[in-house]
Amino acid sequence: VFDRLEQLPDDPILGLNELISSDPRSEKLNLGVGVYVNDDGITPVMEAVRLAERRIHEEQVSKAYLSPRGRAEFINPLGERIFSNDLWIRRRDRIAGLQTAGCVAALRLGAEVLGASGIREIWVSEPTWPIHAPIFEAAGLKVRRYPYYKTGETGVLWDDMIAKLSGIGPSDAVLLHGCCHNPSGSDLSLEQWRMLSDHLKKRGSIPFIDVAYAGLGEALDNDLAGLRLLTELVDEAVVAVSCSKSFGLYRERTGALYFSGGSKRNVSAALSNALNLARTSYSMPPDHGGAVVAKILSDHELEALWRAELKRMCEKLNGCRAQLAELAEENGLNWGFIREQKGMFSLLPITPAQTKKLREEHAIYMPSNGRINIAGLSNAGCRHLIHSVVAITD
Ligand code: LMR
């Protein structure tokens, strides 16, 4: 049976980890997978998470099953932090969510529910995270692309984007990045979120928002302002949330999927479809990450500690951005855009062949589109990257 299968290529992002660990060169620089890295070069367990885990360890009395929906103590407070307390209370009956096995499961379930509701096409930004299209295609949706960002520039291609989306209708969904666009780091302005919301509403198309980097752009509330505005303005929306980066829970697969709609009946129907899909694929989400987030968000001190840690991570990213842009400019590279962008990623204006050269000749690892994980850059790393790019482009 298996001889009928074709060998598939390695994952374009996670596949890099294996290459890096087998590289013996001491100067190797990992700018691949999007994880936060501290000054000691490690991806730490956040202190708030560690304290929450300790309490869970002491208090947990059972490992009996959860429901496919996961923990209400996770879904509700997380929803309140994402949509804002005010919106969450006002829309109490019109936003429904479930805990998912990471954000990928949220994206997949959301896409399946959209497909079951009659959505045929989903529009994604060009560029976008390379796993978006395969997830949506696996759910049976046709993936279309709207222009969003041109490498080497600062802002987004707003006019081109809106022109491309001029023909969308009620069987189209539009994927948006809540903040810290992956891979470009360029986000819509609040005014653009407003105009886009009007456009989607007029055309009867539903937005699907992927929120994976909340708190790592400017600050939690600022980063979520566009999503909140859109949720107010459009009739219906689907929102996938990741706790991987904002809580540092990567491998614990902690995510959530929310449906915001015009009536209690409709969001309840959407939720029931997602629950059915969860039950028939992975049954229920893993508990640990959700239990940790629930613990943090139910305790003022733990939440304050988490917020302070998140703020420091954000400041570090913005510091790395400023430093990289400055060093690049000193070396004749026009990389000022990196300073203006947000979150973990920016795209370097280099070709796939040059990323290969950087890997082979300078032990610098990044996906072939030139995306770099800003958090992976120390002082020395910035210098190594810039001198290597200068060397391969001279
Ligand atoms: C990334 O883009 O590097 C992260 O979101 C990790 C992943 O799953 O690809």
- 27-50 tens-digit pLDDT: 999 999 999 999 888 999 999 999
Sign of the four-CA dihedral 341, 345, 348, 351: negative
How many angstroms is it from 129 CA to the middle of ligand 1? 8
Residues of the chain with CATH 3.40.640.10: 54-301
How many angstroms is it from 183 CA to the middle of ligand 1? 10
Asked if omega into 183 is within 30° of 0 (cis), the reply is: yes
What kind of fold does domain 54-301 have according to CATH?
Answer: Aspartate Aminotransferase; domain 2 (3.40.640)
- How far, in Å, CA of 260 to CA of 238, rounded? 6
Closest residue CA from atom 2 of ligand 1: 34
Which are the catalytic amino acids?
Answer: 129, 210, 245
- What's the pLDDT band for 153 if we cut at 50, 70, 90? very high
How many angstroms is it from 368 CA to the middle of ligand 1? 14
Closest residue CA from atom 1 of ligand 1: 34
Q: Which residues line ligand 1 (CB under 6 A)?
A: 13, 33-34, 129, 131, 182
Instruction: Indicate the CATH number of 9-44+314-393 among 3.90.1150.10, 3.30.390.10, 3.30.70.270, 3.40.1160.10.
Output: 3.90.1150.10
pLDDT for the residue 394: 76
- 85-118 tens-digit pLDDT: 999 999 989 999 999 999 999 999 999 999 999 9
How many angstroms is it from 300 CA to the middle of ligand 1? 30
Tell me the one-letter amino acid at 272.
Answer: S
pLDDT score of 387 more than 80: yes
pLDDT for the residue 39: 87
Residues of the chain with CATH 3.90.1150.10: 9-44+314-393
Q: Which atom of ligand 1 is nearest to the CA of 131?
A: 9
**Percentage of the chain surpassing pLDDT 90?**
96
Please list, in sequence order, all residues whose beta carbon lies within 8 angstroms of the beta carbon of residue 202, skipping any fewer than 6 positions away.
none
Q: Which atom of ligand 1 is nearest to the CA of 182?
A: 2
DSSP notation for 3-67: GGSPPPPPPTTTHHHHHHHT---TT-EE--S-----TTS--PPPHHHHHHHHHHHHH--------
How many angstroms is it from 25 CA to the middle of ligand 1? 24
Q: Which atom of ligand 1 is nearest to the CA of 34?
A: 3
Closest residue CA from atom 4 of ligand 1: 34
Mutate to test the pocket of ligand 1, among 13, 16, 241 (most ligand atoms within 8 A of CB): 13
- 181-195 tens-digit pLDDT: 999 999 999 999 999
Q: Which atom of ligand 1 is nearest to the CA of 212?
A: 5
